[in-house]
Structure 1
Amino acid sequence: MKAIVLEAADKPLVYKEVDKPTLQPGEALVKIKAAALNRRDYWITVGKYAGIKYPTILGSDGAGIVVAVGNDADKHLLDKEVIIDPASGWGDDPNVQSDNFKILGLPVDGTFAEYIKIPVENLYTKPAHLNWEQAAAIPLAALTTYRALFFKGKAVKGSKVLITGVGSGTGAIALQLAVAAGCQVFVTSGSGDKLDKAKHLGAAAGVNYKAQDWAEQLAQLAGGFDVIIDSALGHGFSKLIDLCNPGCRIVFFGGTAGNIPELDGRVIFWKQIQILGTTMGNPDDFKGMLKMVNEHKIIPVIDEVFPLSEANAAIKKMENSAQFGKIVLSV
């Protein structure tokens, strides 16, 4: 089968022939129809991710058709159209993942291939209202932001929510999930065009974080926020504290702009602000996310679709942060 293989750090991805996976009981072979990129894939390609091994097939997101199973008990899955939960080994504690937690695409070979073997418990029926590319764009970003918004952030109908960096795959789907839940959503982006697109998706307003007074603009527009979803951290994170309503939850799952800067702890304890980290999600989070996608007929935003063989061009576009929404590979 053909696959996209990372053979060394800072080297182009290689489109090559590799062995088709062999199945163990409890596994299924999925013929991938589409796979989606995440920022994680980019960091792995430049060697800035923990536990990198070579060679490896990247890709956490995927959708396809079950073409083989490892034992007769799973034959009912044959020919089923599925999307893949990329998280496994969460464990029994809903609050934190276990030491056995893994994400598809490293260390386990991922979805940037014609076929992939997956534990059957990680397969879910593809939402009928989505095409292959849209279905592939759902899993990692929607799982992460669903947990951030509703498990950690406790967003409810009427909550005033801020989503920073709305142009990313996680930012766009977080906006869609929050709007579907009846939240009043504000956003930031470094692009006026992306802010306009966010308003079309239901954002109440947005500001350009490149403006010197972006935080002051948000304060004038919204007053304050009950939930803030961030994936950048960096120097601008300190300004989020001043935008918090009493009891606000700031939830973050990335650090593309650096670490958390020095913060005014007095404001944090007096306003009873919570700063919460989150990573991916457990099976219950995935089921809840998928239920919401189906009930509200949410269609993820896709920026561009590349053929599998052009994965390097797709990674390059992600490196430049030129996209609004998800970048997808058609297999």
Structure 2
Amino acid sequence: MADGLSAADLNAELAKSTAAVLAHGRPDGYPVSLAAQIHLTTSRLQADHPDAAALLSALALLAPEPFPVTTCAGHLPDQASTPLTHALATPLTARPTLHALTRHSLARAHDGTLQLHRLTQAVVADQLAPDQHQQAQRDAEALLIAATPGDVGDPPIWPAWRVLLPHLLAVDPAHLTTTAARNGVRDACWYLMDRGQAHPARDRLQQLYDTWSAQLGPDHEDTLWTAHYLAQAHGDTQDPERARALDEDTLQRRRRLLGEDHPDTLLTASNLAVRLAALGEARALGEETLARQRRVLGEDHPDTLRTAYNLAIWLAELGETGEARALGEETLLRRRRVLGEDHPDTLTTVQLVEWLEQQ
């Protein structure tokens, strides 16, 4: 209930709100009374707590799951609106904002997260005016950028990725305006692939690739990185021909745009070698790419070690077990030193070396 309103005043305000809802529409299937109550509450929130209203509008465009709001405090990019930036300037300033939303029963707070009920979320989003909707999109993107945990391959931050995942999967890629946000949405698909969910990851990546190819062009860095991920998803879903076609196209574009020795070009070449391995044609490209990566990136770079790991497998499959064993053992030593004993890449290399020793 709004602060300072008697029952009679509340009924009068609710009647006015109902008229506004009927004039402007409401989400299909939701009762007028609910939409009117939310309209009334959000209108008063906008007047009394514009910072909280900005956060509410942004969250209305994300998933109806807990969002790690306090993680964003002090980390919002410049594109965030002034009210949202003020609301989340520090963890301390975030507290009254969260309190305003929970006190009005618009959201539920728990352990630094804020969750809107899906009905509330739908009504709030539906009631945004066009200019408000555009700003809410920018603010939602700012929240995603600020909350993105970091390297999706780093095990200690996987729990943070798990919390943010529904929001990264829900956001409309056509509304993203920054590389930072596109990176986060794309990395969410990698998180899925690492957990054996290659099919939903592939479908989402195809949506991202189609959207950004049309918006940004096929040579844009964000499009090319999405093609890189999509090729991996095709490989993981047993479609090596599509994976190969995408990697071949990406390699041709990166060679033209970046040059033969650019790290991104070399990474694509290494990936293409993986596709060719499925067709028995990987050794030559793998050896060439490893030599270039060692020269350009260094012996211990993760990309170099990844190519070395794959090449050891391909050599073993060709019957070159001695050479494969030596390369696998060298890669294991380097990964232990660079990544640590418990990193997933180190552990898979241990399995490879043990397998090679049995050959």
TM range (shorter): under 0.3
Structure that is richer in strand per residue: 1
Structure that is richer in helix per residue: 2
Instruction: Report which of the two structures shows the higher radius of gyration computed on alpha carbons.
Output: 2
Higher relative contact order (CA 8 A, sep 6+): 1
TM-score, reference length from structure 2: 0.25
